[in-house]
Amino acid sequence: MIRTLTAAAPVLEVPGVVVIGSQVPNLLEPNAASTLVVSEDVDIGVPLAAHPFVKAALAQVRGFQPSKEEPSVWVPNGPELIELNFVGMGTGDPLDTFVFEDPDLPLMVFGPLSFLSAGLVVDADGLRVPLPKTAGLLIEKLLTDRSAEKGDRDRLVVLGLLLVARPGDEEELVALYRDLPPDLQYATRSNLGVLSLMGPIAGMPDPTVHRAVVARLLERLEEASG
Amino acid sequence: MTRALHRRAQQARAARAVIAWEFRQRNHSKGVWFRLRRLLAMTEVAYAVSPDDAAELVREGYQAEEVGEHLEPKKILLRIPPERAAQLPNKRAVPIRLGAELLAERYLILVPWGPPAPWPPAPWGHALPPKVK
C-alpha cells in the first residue's frame, strides 16, 4: 500500500484529495502499521472542484495506466503496486449518485461521500497521506448500500474505524447522524445490527470479539434518534 | 467507456430506493429482522433453554420480547440478568448470529451487555498515530 501511495503522491498533494475506503483503518493505526484490513486497491476521493488539478497531477504519476474498461481505475504496470480507484466527492445532495463525465478521468460521484471532510494527515513512511474525518467515513460506509461480500467488507471497515477511533469522533458521528433523515438513520442502525451479528472474514477485524463496541455505538445512536 | 459507471450509479440510486422502502416497512413484517438484529446486538450472551425453564422465567415476571411473537414459528425470547442466567443449569450457549443454530431454537434467554465501555475503545491505548497536521 505504501508503495502505491508513494507513486500516487502528486495526486495526494492536491488540496481536498483524501484516501478513503478500506485502507483508512490501516493508515490510522500507529505508524500506519496496516494490520487491520487486507485490501485490493487504494480508493482516492476527488472533490469535483479538484478534478482538473488531479488530472494534471496524474501526468506525474508513474507505474499506472487508466483501465480501458473503467477509466476511473488506474491499473498498475507491475505487481509491486495495487490499483488506484478514483471516486468523486460531491458537495450537493448526499443521497444522489451520478457519473461525472470526463474523457480522461470520469468519476462515479457517490452521494454519501459528501459526508466526508478533510481530517488528519498521517505520516506513512515519510509520506503525508490525507485522510477524511473518521466520523464522516463511518456514516458513508454505513450508508453506501452494497450487497454480499462487498457489503460485509464495508461493515468490517466500519469496525476497523471504530477500533482506531479517537476522542471526539463519537460526538462528530452523532452530530452527523442527527442530521440524517429518519430512513437513513434507520439504515445506519440496521447496518450496525448486521455488523454485530457477522462472523469473521479473513484479513478483516473479527466482529465476534468486538460486539460490545458495536452495541455501545448502536445504543448511542438510538439515544440520538430522539 | 463510462457505461459501467452509469450502471453503478443506477444501482446506487436503486439501493437508495430500497432504503426508503425498508424504512416504510419498519413496523410491518419486514421490520422484524431489524428488531431482532437490534435485540441480539444488545445481547452479550444467548442461551437455549427448555420450555419449562422459559415458562418458569415468565412466571417470575420476565416478559417475552415482542419480536419473538412476530416470527413463525414463534420464539420466546427473554432478556434476563446474568445472575439469573447463572442459576439455570441446563442452558446451552448459542452463537449470536442470525444463523441456523440460533434461529432453530424456540426458547432463548438473552443476557444484555453490562455498563457501556468507555469511548473510544482504542485497543492501541496511548499509542495513537502521530498527528502531522
- Tell me, yes or no, whether B117 lies in a domain: no
Interface of B with A (CB under 8 A): 1-2, 4-6, 8-9, 12-13, 15-16, 18-20, 22-24, 26, 34, 37-38, 40-42, 44, 96-98, 113, 116-117, 119-124, 127-133
Contacts of B45 in chain A (CB under 8 A): none
Question: What's the mean pLDDT in A110-135?
Answer: 89
Same-domain pairing of B74 and B11: no
Same-domain pairing of B50 and B5: no
Instruction: Supply the mean pLDDT for chain A.
Output: 88
pLDDT of A96 strictly over 90: no
Which residues, in sequence order, are bridge partners of residue B94?
B46
- Tell me, yes or no, whether B125 lies in a domain: no
Contact call for B38 and A193, based on CB within 8 A? yes
Predicted confidence at residue B19, as pLDDT, reads: 82
pLDDT of A82 strictly over 70: yes
The minimum CA-CA distance between B67 and chain A, rounded to whole Å, is 15
Mutate to test the interface with B, among A105, A117, A190 (most CBs of B within 10 A): A190
Contact call for B119 and A211, based on CB within 8 A? no
Backbone CA torsion sign across B124, A190, A89, A75: positive
- Select the residue of A71, A163, A193 nearest B1 (Cβ to Cβ): A71
**Which of B48, B43, B40 lies closest to B104 in space, CA to CA?**
B48
Contact call for B129 and A122, based on CB within 8 A? yes
Same-domain pairing of B82 and B108: yes
Same-domain pairing of B42 and B23: no
A18 in Cβ contact with A116 (< 8 Å) = yes
DSSP per position, B38-72: HHHHTEEEEEE--HHHHHHHHHTTPPBPHHHHTSS
Predicted confidence at residue B124, as pLDDT, reads: 39
- Tell me, yes or no, whether B127 lies in a domain: no
Predicted confidence at residue A215, as pLDDT, reads: 93
Q: What pairing do the DSSP bridges indicate for beta strands A64-66 and A73-76?
A: antiparallel
Contact call for B4 and A199, based on CB within 8 A? no
Backbone CA torsion sign across A24, A27, A33, A34: positive
Same-domain pairing of B48 and B4: no
- Tell me, yes or no, whether B91 lies in a domain: yes
Tens digits of residue pLDDT in A60-70: 999 999 998 88
- Is pTM, for the whole model, over 0.90? no
* CA–CA dist B117, B115 (Å, integer): 7
B106 in Cβ contact with B95 (< 8 Å) = no
pLDDT of B12 strictly over 80: no
Same-domain pairing of B79 and B17: no
In the numeric block, which cell numbers belong to residue A93? 445532495
A129 in Cβ contact with A27 (< 8 Å) = yes
Contact call for B5 and A108, based on CB within 8 A? yes
SS3 string of chain A?
Answer: CHHHHHHCHHHHCCCCCEEECCHHHHHHCHHHCCCCCCCCEEEEEEEHHHHHHHHHHHCCCCCEEECCCCCCEEEECCCCCCEEEEEEECCCCCCCCEEECCCCCCEEECHHHHHCCEEEEEEECCEEEEEECHHHHHHHHHHCCCCHHHHHHHHHHHHHHHHCCCCCHHHHHHHHHHCCCHHHHHHHHHHHHHHHCCCCCCCCCCHHHCHHHHHHHHHHHHHHHC
- Tell me, yes or no, whether B88 lies in a domain: yes
In the numeric block, which cell numbers belong to residue A63? 507505474
Same-domain pairing of B45 and B87: yes
Predicted confidence at residue A36, as pLDDT, reads: 72
- Select the residue of A68, A110, A190 nearest B12 (Cβ to Cβ): A110
∠ at Cα A157 (A190, B12), nearest 5°?
Answer: 60
Same-domain pairing of B20 and B71: no
Q: Before B73, cis peptide (omega within 30)?
A: yes
Same-domain pairing of B49 and B100: yes
**Which of A98, A90, A103 lies closest to A16 in space, CA to CA?**
A90
How many of the other CB atoms lie within 10 Å of CB of A130?
22
Predicted confidence at residue A31, as pLDDT, reads: 67
A68 in Cβ contact with A28 (< 8 Å) = no
Mutate to test the interface with B, among A161, A196, A222 (most CBs of B within 10 A): A196
Question: What's the mean pLDDT in A189-203?
Answer: 91
Question: What's the mean pLDDT in B9-17?
Answer: 79
Predicted confidence at residue A73, as pLDDT, reads: 92
- Select the residue of B23, B128, B129 nearest A186 (Cβ to Cβ): B23
Give the model's confidence band at A146: pLDDT under 50 very low, under 70 low, under 90 confident, else very high: low
Instruction: Supply the mean pLDDT for chain B.
Output: 84
- Tell me, yes or no, whether B2 lies in a domain: yes
- Domain ranges for chain A: 1-132, 133-226
Backbone CA torsion sign across A158, B26, B76, B116: positive
Tens digits of residue pLDDT in B97-130: 988 899 999 999 999 998 765 555 554 333 333 3
**Which of A115, A147, A91 lies closest to A20 in space, CA to CA?**
A115
Tens digits of residue pLDDT in A4-57: 999 999 999 999 999 998 888 888 877 666 677 777 789 999 999 999 999 999
- Tell me, yes or no, whether B98 lies in a domain: yes
Instruction: Tell which wins on pLDDT, A149 or B20.
Output: B20
Which residues, in sequence order, are bridge partners of residue B40?
none
pLDDT of A226 strictly over 70: no
pLDDT of A167 strictly over 70: yes
The distance from CA A185 to its chain's CA centroid, rounded to whole angstroms, is 19
Cβ contacts from A onto B, under 8 A = 146
pLDDT of A173 strictly over 90: yes
Same-domain pairing of B56 and B105: yes
Contact call for A30 and B127, based on CB within 8 A? yes
Same-domain pairing of B15 and B37: no
What is the residue type of B95?
Answer: P
Domain that holds residue B3: 1-30
- Domains: count for chain B: 2
Same-domain pairing of B37 and B90: yes
